[in-house]
Amino acid sequence: MAKKRLNELIDEKFDQEQKRHEYGKKPKTPLGRYAQPAMFGVILVVSLWVLFSQIYTIAKYFLGQ
């Protein structure tokens, strides 16, 4: 009985120590978390570039330059 209780206490202390060490670590983030916003930014910049170049072309045509 005493040996069983001692083993439980040791396991409990070990678990607490493991949790204490895990607390300070940053969780690993998957690469997709960074790739998705980056691709969104690239698509946004390219589409805005195309849009403004088309607006410039139309404005140039109507102004007769």
Q: What is the DSSP string of 48-60?
A: HHHHHHHHHHHHH
Express each pLDDT in 2-40 by its tens digit.
Answer: 888 888 888 888 888 777 766 666 666 666 677 778 888
Is the pLDDT at 58 greater than 70? The verdict is yes
Token pair of 52, please? 């403004």
The Cα 10–Cα 13 span in angstroms is 5
* pLDDT score at 3: 84
Between 38 and 53, the higher pLDDT residue: 53
Kindly tell me if the per-residue pLDDT of 55 is higher than 70. yes
Give the model's pLDDT for residue 19: 74
Q: Any idea what DSSP says for residue 54?
A: H
Q: How much is the pLDDT for 60?
A: 92
Overall domain count for the chain: 1
Range of the domain at 10: 2-25+32-63
